[in-house]
Amino acid sequence: MTVTHAAIEAGEAPSLAPLIDMLSADMAGVNATIIDRMASEVPLIPQLAGHLIASGGKRMRPMMTVAGAMLGSGDAAVRAPAIKLATAVEFIHSATLLHDDVIDESKLRRGQDTANALWGNDASVLVGDFLFARAFELMVEAGDITVLGRLAAAAARITEGEIKQMAITGQPDTPVDDYFDVIGGKTAVLFSAAAAAGIEITGAPAAQVEAMRVYGMELGMAFQIMDDALDYTASAEQMGKNAGDDFADQKITLPTILAWQDGDAEERAFWQRTLGEADFAEGDLERAQALLAAHDAVNRSVAVAHDHAVKAGAALTPFIGDKRTAPLAHALADAALFAAHRAS
């Protein structure tokens, strides 16, 4: 038996709604734990952290942990430690966002002013550090050293991915494999570790843990590739951040790599002047978008994201033969397609 993508088969846009509905009770526990564990006697900490955490993120990473635990066990008591793990995952993600916005000097996140724009860089970095520390407290409390090691390794890999991204910034001739290595580290590895940790904490067989690890990695790749494509096509209202930020920050993403590879000398000179040398002029973003359109670079990038989403769905095959886990596996497959085809 294979995983089906219900939304695609019905001719509808893939949605997170079925997954959200299935996870709602356990995710309520995660949200309550988030509020409880970001509390501090230092008023600025919950104020700043709450500004980001309550600003409307999709919570896809902690959902991966909760979903993994539900695949592993139908017993709420058995999967209870996953609530703390999912909270830890959200704190790790939020900490990286706080630090990223400082590094990128971003002013808009999820449609709101960034924390660093409101409270300054120092406060944002320190509250990010606080969330990292809280995350490790929660992982220890979950009581599984293997799971702790998995998530700790993911946290280290995220930092490596961010540093690798800095290394290729301003290098428009970056090979595509280097880009995939960057996004595998900075984004996909947390999805992967989150999904694997959730099922692993329930004592599920190693083969099932590995299936969720692969699922999370493929979903994370699809998610980041689509995020990079949206930077050149979506509005600030759709994305919740300023359109063209990646271009202005000289970030090398799959659409620009494809356009560079297919471009002639004049086009490559444009990419070198802008992405390579940060020598921007009025109309350059529009010129970049026109070049991407000429080479169909955005649609080709979305196609790559789709391929990763399909691989994510295929990884869920071990859960299809069980009547208890099959509906959730199908919802997870649709969530992967949502990641690859979302509009924001």
- Per-residue pLDDT, averaged over 167-183, amounts to 97
pLDDT at 194 over 70: yes
Question: Which residues make Cβ contacts (< 8 Å) with residue 178, sequence separation at least 6?
Answer: 164, 168
What's the pLDDT at 119?
86
Q: Contact at 8 Å (CB) between 154 and 135?
A: no
pLDDT at 261 over 80: yes
Q: Which residues pair with 112 in a beta bridge?
A: 109
The CA distance from 66 to 48, in Å, is 26
CA–CA distances in Å: residue 280 to residues 4, 42, 252, 284: 46, 42, 16, 6
Half-sphere exposure of 83 (CA within 13 A, CB side): 19
The CA distance from 16 to 322, in Å, is 22
Q: Contact at 8 Å (CB) between 49 and 38?
A: yes
pLDDT tens figures, 109-153: 666 888 888 888 898 999 999 999 999 999 999 999 999 999 999
Say whether 281 sits in a helix, a strand or coil. coil
What's the pLDDT at 198?
98
Model confidence band, residue 170 (pLDDT cutoffs 50, 70, 90): very high
Q: What is the crossing angle of helices 81-104 and 17-37, to 10°?
A: 80
pLDDT tens figures, 263-283: 999 999 999 999 999 999 999
Q: Give the CATH class of 6-341.
A: mainly alpha
- By mean pLDDT, which of 9-23, 74-88, 235-249 is the weakest? 235-249
With residue 108 as reference, give the H or E element that holds it: strand 108-109
What's the pLDDT at 1?
46
Between 54 and 179, the more confident residue is 179
Say whether 112 sits in a helix, a strand or coil. strand
Domain ranges of the chain: 6-341
